[in-house]
């Protein structure tokens, strides 16, 4: 037996660490990674944004969008659907104006402390829901 002081101990552990070969990864790791990559590729083709869609899907989408734009500008038969869309947009705008009126009235009528409390509650709820969503997403991601 020999006694080692801190310096001798540092040398000994350093020597052990340097001579230690890497751990051997489990035999299943490579297959597991390749499976995960394949799954990610399948998912990300549609959920990862337009730039990750398959080329054929991107071209088809662009052609269809262009065709729809040209058709809506040129075909008289589309006048009625276009008018319906316009009315829907105006309807939304009116609803927005009504909402604005109600909001203004509420702001004037309610005490400021209530409004502050409501805003704080809203922010807290938002943070709670966001945290819950993030937690769920992470845990689903880990198990998928």
Partner 1 sequence: MNAAVEFADFVLAYQDTVFSTAARLLGDDAQAEDVAQEVFLRAYERFESLRDSPACGGWLKTVARHLALNHLSRYRRRWRMFSEVATADDGGEAQEFDVAVPDTLLRDLDEHERARRTEAALRALPEHQRVPLVLFHFEEMSYADIAAALGISLAKVKIDILRGRVALARALADLGAGERGTS
Which residues bind to partner 1, rule: CB under 8 A?
A: 1-6, 9-10, 12-14, 16-17, 19-26, 28-30, 32-34, 36-37, 40, 142
Distance CA 144, CA 137 (A): 10
CA proximity to 141, closest of 25, 47, 13: 47
Whole-Å CA distances, 85 to 29, 46, 95: 54, 28, 15
Q: How many residues does the chain have?
A: 144
Radius of gyration of the chain (CA): 31
Report the residue number, 115 or 131, with the smaller CB distance to partner 1: 131
Nearer to partner 1, 49 or 77 (CB): 49
Q: Nearest approach, Cβ of 1 to partner 1 (angstroms)? A: 5
In terms of CB distance, is 29 or 57 closer to partner 1?
Answer: 29
Residue with tokens 């209530």: 114
Q: How far is the CB of 10 from partner 1 (least distance, A)?
A: 6
Nearest CB to partner 1, comparing residues 19 and 80: 19
């Amino acid at each position: 037996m020999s006694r080692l002081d801190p310096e001798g101990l540092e040398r000994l552990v350093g020597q052990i660490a340097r001579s230690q070969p890497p751990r051997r990864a489990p035999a299943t790791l490579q297959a597991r990674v390749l499976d995960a990559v394949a799954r990610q590729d399948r998912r990300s083709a549609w959920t990862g944004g337009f730039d990750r869609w398959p080329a054929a899907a991107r071209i088809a989408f662009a052609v269809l969008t262009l065709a729809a734009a040209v058709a809506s500008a040129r075909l008289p038969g589309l006048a009625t659907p276009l008018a319906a869309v316009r009315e829907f947009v105006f309807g939304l705008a009116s609803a927005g104006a009504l909402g604005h009126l109600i909001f203004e009235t509420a702001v004037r009528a309610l005490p400021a402390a209530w409004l502050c409390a409501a805003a704080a509650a809203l922010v807290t709820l938002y943070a709670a829901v966001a945290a819950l969503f993030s937690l769920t997403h992470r845990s689903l991601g880990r198990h998928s």
